[in-house]
Structure 1
């Protein structure tokens, strides 16, 4: 069944509340691309109540083949001023990202970075800037102490505008990039994982943590699972649309199937395998991270622990057990073997014994 978008004019008459199934990622992307925004106070997405924003949303829905309901409303009490050139450019930038089918998180990150770039140079527009001016902007942001990851985000967001939106050649904007720090993955020992899982009594919480460790799933992959992704006959679990929009089939541990069945019987999820307080909506990513932290505290693990550490632990423990690194690459869904090879730096069986141990001291 296709998702349906419906708009409802708020009492302020300046915004529409946008209603759609939370699980429809394409719809969220279309709403953000049309100029919408998430408001925590409204507990949902809002769209400016003007004809241009509605027209952009209609166009995005038409591209996606999705129905949209827009109520017949009288003229707004206060006519909104026309968008500035920078605002119009930002709207076109976001619409282009949404039509490229980038994820809502990518759209949010790029929009924020590009909006800061526009505001810094206002009223001048990016096409009026020289390459040294753009480099000066990046150097100024680096001087404020931003991280290497955020510096790369700024570069990517600006490059996207010049190369994708304005169709400039790729060599138009060649900029130096920071060297990424080579950090070993943080992981848990098998004994720590066992204590963490045994100390989690809540059925839903324990099932999510066991999936993350038992199959090396990312946080988003755990939350996106549906009951149909479990094939009990083949003892397989299907991960759909993982990182890089790649699918993969994983062997389901026999010890996990009874737990997943009991979790389903107890909570009766509507759409997702793990749902939050509202039926049909996925469990919150922030809540799942809190579950991990609380479980680590009960297990007596004092250092910071995240769900992704369970994925790192899964890969490292497989490597220590003798699993071929190419197989681990396939199980993790890595595009490059170089990404998987980071686990050779921490796996105990690949470490060279120190001659100190031979001295008998």
Structure 2
């Protein structure tokens, strides 16, 4: 006969019924010595459902080489240690970001960067550090080979704690920032965009790509759209909570309205305009980027492209077509005209003709 001890939680969830071979005198004696008792009302042997009561039972069963079966009970879970001062601070930091309604991606990025900062200086807390400590930390990270973009993220995450959460003077924690490289936006020619769209036959995929190019939408803006954001009477698309929490109304081309209607009839989304396999859940960003990659392969575009390149192409092609740059700024939702002016570096109509063209070679 297989000898084992089993515990079963009672209806009140305050104690265990203990089951074991009663005829095994050695085991019965050991269990009684470990705190197991007989209770007439329960018609059997019982034990309190606490970790303190179960611990001697475990020792007895281990000593006698008898299996002990204990159900999963919250009351028996190991009491977690109290949070450390750094964990409390990190939780407070994240809560403050959430209360300020920053995007989930910003929360994730800031949390990761600030947690590294805390871990590096443990057990000291940030308010115990000097400005030079912060500068030394950043210098060490730069020496380790972090990118300029990540250096800026670290600075922003650290400054957010001192200036926003703790209300420290801004100038005290001012730290040098890397000079951003002046890179022109990567874009597609009109012929490439046409090939990209014509080779995409899935209605949902094609509609998302056409929104990115036809209205200059960001990836997050495409995925956040709902059917209510389409105003067919005014031929407008309402973009809610774009970057910087800015809303904007965009003119909706008729060809795109018809495609969106057809896409809606075919896929019948319940919440978002573009949904994945689960109804009510938005299409994933990774899947959309994969759609772009596959469309580029079908269009024989050999260089790497992303959805954001369609937005760059939209702005550049508008500028080349004579649209005022201030209008393009509004359409893109840029806070500063300087951000929009980068497209003047790649627009064909702003380029000066080379004298080589006049040689007739």
TM range, smaller chain: 0.7 to 0.9
Corresponding residue number in structure 1 for 2:70: none
Residues 1:120 and 2:120 aligned together = yes
Determine helix, strand or coil for the equivalent of 1:314: helix
Structure 1's unaligned 5+ residue stretches are 1-72
Corresponding residue number in structure 2 for 1:100: 100
- Alpha-carbon distance in 2 for matches of 1:325, 1:164: 35
Deviation at 1:76, TM superposition (A): 5.6
Corresponding residue number in structure 2 for 1:179: 179
Matches within 5 A, 1:348-359: 348-359=348-359
Corresponding residue number in structure 2 for 1:297: 297
Corresponding residue number in structure 2 for 1:333: 333
Corresponding residue number in structure 2 for 1:287: 287
Residues 1:216 and 2:216 aligned together = yes
Could you give the per-residue CA deviations for residues 174-193 of structure 1, whole angstroms, max 9, x where no partner exists?
A: 11000000000000000000
Deviation at 1:89, TM superposition (A): 1.0
- Alpha-carbon distance in 1 for matches of 2:347, 2:101: 38
Deviation at 1:74, TM superposition (A): 5.1
Corresponding residue number in structure 2 for 1:26: none
Corresponding residue number in structure 2 for 1:234: 234
Closer, same or farther in 2 for the Cα pair 1:143/1:256, shift >3 Å?
same
Corresponding residue number in structure 1 for 2:65: none
Closer, same or farther in 2 for the Cα pair 1:313/1:76, shift >3 Å?
farther
Regions of 4+ moved over 6 Å: none
Corresponding residue number in structure 2 for 1:6: none
* TM-score, scaled to structure 1: 0.79
Deviation at 1:75, TM superposition (A): 3.6
Could you give the per-residue CA deviations for residues 197-256 of structure 1, whole angstroms, max 9, x where no partner exists?
A: 000011100000001100000000000000011111111110011010000000001111
Closer, same or farther in 2 for the Cα pair 1:119/1:259, shift >3 Å?
same
Matches within 5 A, 1:236-315: 236-315=236-315
- Alpha-carbon distance in 1 for matches of 2:327, 2:160: 35
- Alpha-carbon distance in 2 for matches of 1:75, 1:310: 56
Structure 2's unaligned 5+ residue stretches are 1-72
Closer, same or farther in 2 for the Cα pair 1:211/1:162, shift >3 Å?
same
Corresponding residue number in structure 2 for 1:167: 167
Corresponding residue number in structure 2 for 1:62: none
Corresponding residue number in structure 1 for 2:132: 132
Aligned residue-pair number: 289
Deviation at 1:104, TM superposition (A): 1.0
- Alpha-carbon distance in 2 for matches of 1:247, 1:130: 41
RMSD over equivalenced CA pairs, Å:
1.0
Deviation at 1:257, TM superposition (A): 1.3
Q: Which has the higher contact order (CA 8 A, sep 6+)?
A: 1
Corresponding residue number in structure 2 for 1:83: 83
Larger Rg: 2
* TM-score, scaled to structure 2: 0.79
